[in-house]
Structure 1
Amino acid sequence: MSPLDPPKSESAWRVFLAFLRLGLTSFGGPIAHLSYFRLEFVERRRWLTDRSYSELVALCQLLPGPASSQVGMALGLRRAGWAGLLAAWAGFTLPSAALLILFALGVAGYEGIAESGWLHGLKIVAVAVVAQAVWGMARSLCTDRLRAGVALVAAVLALAMPSVVGQMVVIIVSGLFGRWALKVEPALGHSACSYPVSRRTGTVALMLLVLPLVLLPVWAVAGGSRLAVLLEGVYRAGALVFGGGHVVLPLLQTAAVQSGTVSTADLLAGYGAAQAMPGPLFTFAAYLGAMGEGPLGGWAGGLALLAVIFLPAVLVLVGVLPFWESLRHRKGLRAAIAGVNAGVVGILLAALYDPVWTSAIHDRWDVAMALVAFGLLVVARAPPIVVVLLAAMAGWLCASKGL
């Protein structure tokens, strides 16, 4: 173990409490989460050095899944072993998941709430949030004309093939194009990170990651049940989300709406509400699970889909950690990931139009509210929770005035 990398020295309970505080207060999305983590665990608690933390962030940003959650789980793993990984995930994730489940139960349990003005305001703020995500991701992931072209072609393909197959085609083609056409900077330096995961454990984790990707689609096609379609789509979303948590929206929309779990309107309302929650955006899956009917509905459904969407993130993190030092220097892999990242910008751009814009924007007042919300987020840099609350109030006022 590197001298820069202190050994684990915390109980799982202390790890849970540390991440619970962050799970209750970490607003602002994954970039803000990573800043909070650095302040808490590098500067205040000194669990690891700045160099070790930077290496960990670099790894998680290249992996599919929620980067901030994976950083947190890796920190918990280093400090308290496997129990620490679970404790870090639970502390950071469960507060927002519980709030979204409660919100879903409110939407599903009260007649008329789905058509209320304030809920329409949440749908409109989802337009601004996704537009901000497209803008920010395009600036960071499409840094040249070639990558911008990949994103535009991906958007066209995603609109032309609005299905699971279409999204898979976009991701695969983007990765292959990136592998052969994009040039990336080589990885510099040596890793200062050390984690208690053997290569054998990593190999088993990668095998377990792939297994549901093969078996769940077979079950969905052969069985044809709504549950199978939903579980397959949510797991696939968790396994294939590159580029940020906002990309989970089009993938989950395909799974949840096509399986009949939620309507597009309810999906956008929940997505707007998720912007006001602390913690990772992946907890949006808990809202979808709670909105379902039958055995996977309410609290059971919310917690079940929460586990399903995060499982790939855990497996890919554990699977890659022991091999990271050799993988990070492979230019072909880095170029392929760069291509995938450009492709997912296109997928999100397509989702900005359909279903986000087409479902939320109906008249000029809606356009005006979306523009104001976008300006507050991008120009004024207002906290998302403030913008969400203002949009909900504006939607309620417009509805009460008959606008």
Structure 2
Amino acid sequence: MEENGLLSSPVRRVAVYSLALNISLVSIKYLLSVATGSLALRADAVHSLVDVFASIALILGLVISTRKSPKFPYGLYKIENVVSVVIALLLFLTAYEIVQQALFEDTAAVSYDLPVLVVVALLIPVPFLFGRYEMHVGRRYNSPGLVADGNQFTADVLSSAIVFLGLVGSAFGLPLDRIAAVIVAVFILRAGWGILVDGMRVLLDASVDQKTLEEIRGFILAEPAVADVRRITGRNSGRYVFVEADVAFRIDDLEQAHRISERIKETIRDTIPRVDRVVLHLEPASVTHTRYAVALGDEEGTISPHFGEAPLFAIIDFDRSAGKVDEMRLITNPYTEVEKGKGMQTARRLLTEKPDVVVTRERMAGKGPAYLFAEAGVEVLRTEIPLLKEFLQAVRSGEGTEPDEISAAANHGQE
């Protein structure tokens, strides 16, 4: 089979099976209705014939939804949702047919025998089992059309059960099929309404669920070069998800920012397979605040002469416009006893805190952590100021809000 053939994907394959099963059910029910003269079986055959058209529509929707066209740059994925809405309407029609049959039609068969009852009874579990399988595949591959068609098959189970009860009840003169028909119609209407609502939400570009958006936001923020996610939206289109986000980068190099954004997109698509397209709008990070990460040798605030061996780091949020510290907290360094690579591991841990400037008394030029910080757009400042409180005084002093100016206040340039 060719890669783009009708049976090339599990979703299309199950849709073809659905069509074949519906054709078989129509044929069997129609032959039984001719043999018995049962109006109920004939009506059920007509109902299954409607399902045949629904299966054809589903297959067309699955095929057309994957086509690319310059006139539809965002794809034709929503055709699947259009199909699911059509199937929902067919469910409403089914409910109407059942009510009509229960209230106004004579459902008693003219003639029947035990083999007919056995065949009708055997027909009941077939669509139920296939419908459950079809919904399982539909949910696994996020195909709304397949899920809707599976629901249609479960509705067929109920209508087939009504026919069977009608045939059995007629033997005893009890109109059980009429009472059951009304109850079944309510269940069918409920299923159809759920399918209709889900399909219309997508067609009207309703947002992706908040849990998925927060998961995507987390992947974006995990990138050290990202300062903030200012806005994130998503919408469903068929079985796929489209995401757009306004992302503040701490780096000014557009080529580097583009490379990082592609890495973020790949991570999101690999982790959440339903995501088809991610659009990141790159924006500069806010300059009103600066976050410093200062390597400390002790809790008294001595600035450590070693980066990787610093037991503590002070995380300081400095309000540049007000010239004051908004918040300061201490975090421990769990990698001080690591024999190899403690500097790199410490740097990765610090990057999760999203610092703008890393301050240490150690020369970092040419070392691995410095390259990690440079990739993330983080300034590395070497200072000879021995104490944290003196460093903060330098930060607060006039123009000492820029790394190079702080360095100048300490009479040392940035390495």
Same fold (TM over 0.5): no
Task: Please tell me whether Structure 1 or Structure 2 has the larger radius of gyration of its CA atoms.
Answer: 2
Greater RCO, CA 8 A, separation 6+: 1
Question: What TM-score, normalized to structure 2?
Answer: 0.28
